[in-house]
Amino acid sequence: MIQTTLLIPTSAAGDPVAYVIPKFIVGPFHNQLIMGTVAAVLLLVLLMGLAKRLGGEKKTNRDYVVKGTGWQLLETICVFIRENVARPNLGKLTDKYVPYLWTVFFFILFCNLLGMMPFAKIAAITAHFLGGDTYFRAKFGGTATGTIAMTIPLALVAFVVINVAGIKEAGVDYFKHFNPGPIFMAPLLVPLEVMGLFIKSAVLAMRLFGTMMAGHLVIAAFIGLVGLAAGAASGLMIGIGVTIMGAALMGLELFIAMLQAFIFTFLTTLFIAQGAVHHHDDEHGHDHEHAPDSHDAEQPAHAAPAVA
C-alpha cells in the first residue's frame, strides 16, 4: 500500500510554509526556478506554433481560421487580450505593445497552472513502485510565481517597459507628468510621483507573489489535517471532508491562477497608458483642432448630414 506520506506533504501538518518555499535541487537552481523555465519553453512552443498556423499565404477567409480546438482557444485568448484589455487603453499603440502583454499574460498563466500540477506526488509514487530514490519527492514541481525571486524580475521588466514607452511616445514631455501642479509644488509632487513609479511595480510583484503563495499555503494546511487525525475512523472521516473541500479549493485556485495573470496584464496596460497614450492622444487631438478634416472641407456649408 502506498504510504500516506507519498500523497500528503509531510511538512503540511507541522509547517505548511515548508511546503511552498523554494527547494534547491542543484546549486542555486531550485524547483520554482526550474518550473519557470519550463513555463517559458512551453510559452515559446505554443505561441510559435500558433504564429506558424496563422502565417503563410491567405487566399480565402477560411484560411484565417486556425484548425484545432486547442489552437482556436489560444487564439481566442490572444484576441481577448488585444481587443478587450489593450485596445481600450492603448488605442493606436495597441499593436506596438500587445506582444509584450501577450508574453507576460501567458508566462504568468503557465507558471500558475504548472504550479497546480502534482509533479512531486507523481515522482514520489513512481519512485515508490520502482524502488528508486525519492530525492525529488518534495523537490520537483512548484509554483514559479509563488516566490518573490520570480515576481520581482517580472515587475522590473514591467517598470522598464512602462517608462520606456512613456519616454518613447511623449519624449521630454513625459517628465512633465511628475509635476502636474504649479511649479512651487514641485518639491512635494515630484518625489511623490517618482515614488509612485516604484510603488506601481512593487504592487505588481507583491500582489502576484502574495496571492499565489497564500493559496498554496491554505491548501497545504488544509490537507495537513489528515496527518493530524488520531485513529483510522477519525482519519477516514477527516479524509473524506478534506477531499471534498480540497477539490473545491483547487477549483478556486484554478480561477485565481487565471485571474492573477489577467490582473497583472491589465494593471501593466493601465500603467503604460498613463505615460504613453494620454500624451499621444493629447498631441494628436491638438493637431486635429488645427487641421480640419478633408472630407468636411469638401462638403458645402448647406449640405445635409449623412444618414448612417
Instruction: State the pTM of this model.
Output: 0.76
pLDDT of residue 296: 46
pLDDT tens-digit profile of 196-253? 889 988 999 999 988 888 877 777 777 776 666 655 556 677 777 777 887 888 888 8
pLDDT of 305 higher than 50: no
pLDDT of residue 295: 43
Mean pLDDT on 269-289: 65
Name the residue with cell 458645402. 300
Domain residue ranges of the chain, discontinuous segments joined by +: 23-283
pLDDT of 87 higher than 90: yes
Residue among 121, 128, 129, 115 at smallest CA distance from 42: 115
Residue among 3, 20, 18, 9 at smallest CA distance from 242: 9
Q: Distances from the Cα of 230 to the Cαs of 11, 16, 262, in angstroms? A: 17, 19, 43
Query: What percent of the chain has a predicted confidence (pLDDT) above 70?
Result: 67
Window from 12-26, 160-174, 183-197 with minimum mean pLDDT? 12-26
pLDDT of residue 98: 94
Q: Which residue has the higher pLDDT, 291 or 125?
A: 125
